[in-house]
Structure 1
């Protein structure tokens, strides 16, 4: 992550791009979770039917496991992109993003939660989401 410090205006200017990236990340994580659950079910069913071994000696799950590994790498890259923007992605569902800032001359985090139109709150580095307060100019 960079050492970037955001003003509320800079944070809000970056939000449209971050929202778009967040939607893409959410779609990827949803698909990954669905496919992982489906694979676990198939493995459990196959283990019950065959006593745990794969018929014919091949791994019937190899291809799907490879896809999931690739998807996991894509997700990790997408998460890393938030850091490259200089922000902290705190949660994917619902989206929660913090922007390092100075508020009243002190280090703080401008906080945006999915569903909010703009970033209008902040909290201290140790306070977390529960310590949110309106930005002084809001």
Structure 2
């Protein structure tokens, strides 16, 4: 359940921190993906000697997944919705003219200038009148 509602100004003020957290999340996600690919290669060539290595790699992946969940929970605690990690697509719940909206930011944009309805998605983005 979403309890936090952002104004455009509040969401834009939080954006630098969100961008930094997203970069860290992206980096961790990339490392986990690379680690998993390496793990699959080691597992495909599995020998008795690689058993310990596989066990260690599985533990590292478990830890990375736990870290990833913590980052996601940090966004959720602020009421910020991550729609995509790569490229970054983030929504901030808000209200405009009495209607529930999502202030929408896409990686590469300097600030939040668009919004869409809860069921419209990215394709339904509209320029925010205060942007």
Q: TM-score range by the shorter chain?
A: over 0.9
**Separation in 1, partners of 2:124, 2:83:** 15
> What stretches of structure 1 of length at least 5 have no aligned partner?
none
**TM-score of the aligned structures, taking structure 2 as reference length:** 0.94
**Separation in 2, partners of 1:108, 1:45:** 51
**Separation in 1, partners of 2:35, 2:21:** 21
Equivalent residue, structure 2, for 1:92: 85
Give the 3 Å change call, closer, same or farther, for CA 121–67 of structure 1 in structure 2.
same
Give the 3 Å change call, closer, same or farther, for CA 55–17 of structure 1 in structure 2.
closer
Equivalent residue, structure 2, for 1:69: 62
Runs of 4+ in 1 over 4 A off after TM superposition: none
Aligned counterpart in structure 1 of residue 127 of structure 2, from 115, 124, 134: 134
Cα root mean square deviation, aligned: 1.5
Give the 3 Å change call, closer, same or farther, for CA 123–91 of structure 1 in structure 2.
same
The total of aligned residue pairs comes to 131
**Separation in 2, partners of 1:127, 1:32:** 32
Deviations 1:46-102 (A, max 9, x none): 2xxx5xxx259x543111110110010000110111011111111100111101101
> What stretches of structure 2 of length at least 5 have no aligned partner?
none
Equivalent residue, structure 1, for 2:53: 60
SS for the counterpart of 1:13 is: helix
**Separation in 1, partners of 2:11, 2:54:** 44
The answer on 1:107 being equivalent to 2:100 is yes
Deviations 1:18-65 (A, max 9, x none): 00000000000000000100010111022xxx5xxx259x54311111
Equivalent residue, structure 2, for 1:121: 114
Q: Which of 1 and 2 has greater Rg? A: 1
